[in-house]
Amino acid sequence: MIPKDYTEFEATLTGSQPLPDWPEGLKALWYDAKGDWEASHNIAQDLYNQLGSWIHAYLHRKEGDRFNAGYWYRQANRPFSKLSLEDELKDIVEYVLQER
């Protein structure tokens, strides 16, 4: 079952993996929230749309690569985020949940 909001998303983080019927973007965000940057990045780099670019930008900002993050924010048609990483993660999760 896909979470209805960020609170429900957070509650799923006790599991060992996201549910298989989740959209790929939500899976990528789940892995990042669990601390598995690499798994999250592997999914995001295979999402060839603005959401994938936004997740990709967030991940590179998180690792401290501003140059690469800037490129991906431009691909996502979004300004370079000034939010905390936690707030940006929440924003992206909520965006994915609203778009489903």
15 belongs to a structural domain: yes
Q: Residues with Cβ < 8 Å from 68, sequence gap 6 or more?
A: 60
Cα 91 to Cα 100: distance, rounded to the nearest angstrom? 15
19-53 residue pLDDT tens? 999 999 999 999 999 999 999 999 999 999 999 99
Domain count across the chain: 1
In a domain, 60, yes or no: yes
Question: Per the domain annotation, does 1 fall within a domain?
Answer: no
Full residue range of the structural domain in which residue 12 is found: 6-99
Taking only the tens place, the pLDDT of each residue in 46-77 is 999 999 999 999 999 999 999 999 999 999 99
